[in-house]
Amino acid sequence: MSTYLEILSFFLHQNLLILSVLSIFTAFLFSYAIIPTIVYVSVIKNLTASPNERSSHIKKTPVLGGVGIAFGAFFTSAFFSALVLSHDEMKILFSVTAPLVILFSAGLKDDIVGLSARSKLFAEILSALIFISLTDIMIDSFHGIFGIYELNEFFSIVFTVFVFIIIINSYNLIDGINGLAGSIAVIVLSSFIYFFYINNIIVGIISGSAMLGGVLAFLRFNLTRGKRKIFMGDVGSLVVGFSFAVFATIALSNTYDSSQFFVNKPVYVLALFAYPFIDTLRVFYHRTKAGKSPFKADRNHLHHKLLNFGYSHVQSTLIIVGYSILILLSAIIFHESSIHRHLLFTFLTSVVLFLILLRVICKEKKKC
């Protein structure tokens, strides 16, 4: 038996594309199989989200979709990692698992009985610090932005924790309509998987592909109109958002040398998260301007505006996904520019397209 496993391990190690496809397929199957049970238990135990003035659904809906995503992703990551990864790479995977358990627990509690924003923030900071301390992987360079390259260790740790908080929370805030958070996750995860594949980072290929498979299975149930509909919930947005932050940190860290394939890496990462970042900043600005706490939830996100303008959940999601893909493509097209020009162009493109999108839709629906 061990001989066959060794042959399989060698084959997968030499064929990373097949490894990625198998990881996606396996995670999809396991998540797809478990989510109906999660829906059933959620309905029986009343673990559902009730409609309110801020929600965009009209009936009680299970909110533990993230549990299904995590189930498929965790199993698949463990299975293929045991087959393929070296001891050092397994250490990274285990170091990711430990903080994920914290965020999974925090998200689960928030979905079931509620959790204060301060407690969630504490869980995010603690998780980031655990990952950094166990792996020694952090954002240790600005890659030439503002003329800054290497960062000292203290600033690297502080900045990396800040990035974790920004990515996790901005992703959490866009989870407001059917398909949006899952679709953005597909774009982000696919991009990181490609990055890991080009740079032969196997632990990233496995974990990213496993998470992608789980998200794809979730989307099948999130977009349905039937009785098995389910939302991602905080457990999902925290776990998936944390994986984004880990992948971004690996991409921006000097631990893995990827400069020969990717220049201006920070610009690509910012382009990937253009929509969550800009929408969050816009909402925070309007809340602060109105004299409210920037963290007080409302219906001022772009996806809420699209619904108010008369677009369906799917149409709104497609509009935002189209915007996100355009920003990513613009970053790719101008990749040969200097990092400052690349960054400035990508930033201006993101903001201008966002404003144009709002203006065009507003005029079209005559609700300006």
Distance CA 158, CA 137 (A): 13
- Residue 211: which residues within 8 A CB-CB, separation 6 or more? 27, 69, 73, 185, 189, 240, 243
| pLDDT on residue 169 | 93
Domain count, the chain: 1
- Residue 282's region, left for phi above 0, alpha for psi from -120 to 50, else beta, is alpha
- Domain extent for 358: 2-365
Axis-axis angle for helices 265-272, 274-289 (nearest 10): 60
Q: Are strands 61-62 and 48-49 parallel, antiparallel or unpaired?
A: antiparallel
- Whether residue 132 contacts residue 157, with contact meaning beta carbons closer than 8 Å, is answered with yes
Distance CA 131, CA 97 (A): 9
**Stretch (H or E) spanning 62:** strand 61-62
Buried b or exposed e, range 3-26, using 16+ CB within 10 angstroms: eeeeeeeeebeeebeebbebbbeb
Distance CA 308, CA 292 (A): 22
Distance CA 96, CA 148 (A): 28
Q: Give pLDDT < 50 ranges for the chain.
A: none
- Whether residue 184 contacts residue 172, with contact meaning beta carbons closer than 8 Å, is answered with no
DSSP 8-state secondary structure symbol assigned to residue 150: B
- Residue 256's region, left for phi above 0, alpha for psi from -120 to 50, else beta, is beta
Distance CA 47, CA 108 (A): 11
